[in-house]
Structure formats: C-alpha cells, structure tokens
C-alpha cells in the first residue's frame, strides 16, 4: 500500500476497530504520536502499549473523517471523534506523515481557526 491516503484510512480503520496488530503493522519503528496538547510519544512499542491502554479506557472512541488532503507524504484530515468521554468527543484535525506505506507520525490537533490557518486548511 503506497497511496498515503489509503495508508491513513487503513490506520484509522484499525483505530476504529481497536485492531492493535493492524496499528502495529502500519507504524514505522520510530513512529511518533503527538496529541492535541502537544505531548510527544515516540516509538512503536510505546504506542502499541499506549493504544492498548487507550482502547481499554475509551472503548467507544471512533474517528470520522470528512475530508482528506494529501501534500506529498503528508495527509491532512478534518473530521470529528465520537466518545462518551467529553474531551475526546468533537471536531478534530489530524496529520499523518507516511513513509514507505507506514505511518511515521500521527498528530491530533484541536479544530480551531488558528490550527486551520497554521495548516493552511480552508473552512
């Protein structure tokens, strides 16, 4: 799978189905996750453990993408998440850096006018 958008969609499908093995297979070994408060989590092993704990704590969490835009190996996504835990429920922006068919960086942003301007997104 070399199309960056397809890699991102597959990764998100793994999030939405809580497929840890699938997420692991789609991460680079030096995978980086940056959450909406700019905390950086690095390394595939750390993120496999992180996603496992996240799914345990928030079993109803799902991402719903409304728009994808590819800029080279960077995919920008707008949409929203649903979750019974209020801080995780609502509009979001994601960026993903794709390298050789895997996610090297997955980043979550709050969907604000400032972040849309920083990422040069319309709307």
Domain count, the chain: 1
HEC string for the chain: CCCHHHHHHHHHHHHHCCCHHHHHHCEEEEEEEECCCCCEEECHHHHHHHHHHHHHHCCCCEEEEEEEEEECCEEEEEEEEECCCHHHCEEEEEEEEEECCEEEEEEEEECCHHHHHHCCCCC
Residue 43 placed within a domain = yes
Q: What does the pLDDT average to over 80-109?
A: 97
pLDDT score for 12: 98
Residue 89 placed within a domain = yes
Residue 39 placed within a domain = yes
pLDDT score for 1: 67
Residue 123 placed within a domain = no
Residue 19 placed within a domain = yes
Residue 46 placed within a domain = yes
Using pLDDT thresholds of 50, 70 and 90, give the confidence band for residue 2.
Answer: confident
Q: What is the CATH number of the domain that holds 108?
A: 3.10.450.50
pTM as predicted: 0.95
Which domain covers residue 93, as residue numbers? 4-118
């Amino acid at each position: 799978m070399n199309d960056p958008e397809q890699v991102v969609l597959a990764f998100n499908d793994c999030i939405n189905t809580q497929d840890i093995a699938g997420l692991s297979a789609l991460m680079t070994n030096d995978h980086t996750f940056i959450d909406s408060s700019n905390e950086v989590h690095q390394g595939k092993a750390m993120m496999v453990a992180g996603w496992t704990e996240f799914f345990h704590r928030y079993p109803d969490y799902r991402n719903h993408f409304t728009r994808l835009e590819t800029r080279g190996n960077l995919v920008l996504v707008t949409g929203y998440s649903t979750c019974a835990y209020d801080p995780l429920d609502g509009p979001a922006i994601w960026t993903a850096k794709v390298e050789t068919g895997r996610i090297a960086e997955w980043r979550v942003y709050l969907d604000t006018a400032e972040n849309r301007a920083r990422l040069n997104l319309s709307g």
